[in-house]
Amino acid sequence: GMEHIDSYVFNKAEYVRFNSTVGRFVGYTEHGLKNAEAWNSDAGILGQEQAELERFCKHNADIYYSAIRDKT
C-alpha cells in the first residue's frame, strides 16, 4: 500500500510528522513530541490530516495509475 508522510520542519530539522501507516503524529524532538501528543489527542486535527491524506493520495494514485495504464 501507499504511505503518506507529512513532515513539519523547523530550522531544517524535522520535528514532527504525520505518518499515515500509524494514523497519527510522531515527534522527533522535545518540541515535536509535545506537538504530536497534543495533535494526536485532537480529533479535529487528526481528521483534517486523514482527509488531506485521502484527497492527496487518491488524486495522485489516480494520476499515477492512469499514467501506467497509458504506457502499457
Q: Flag whether the pTM goes above 0.85.
A: no
25-41 pLDDT, tens digit per residue, is: 999 999 999 999 999 99
The range of the structural domain enclosing residue 52 comes to: 5-70
Domain count, the chain: 1
For residue 21, give every residue at least 6 positions away whose Cβ sits within 8 Å of its Cβ, in sequence order, or none. Answer: 3
CA distance 3 to 67: 20
Whether 1 has a pLDDT exceeding 70, the answer reads: no
CA distance 71 to 4: 25
| pLDDT for residue 38 | 95
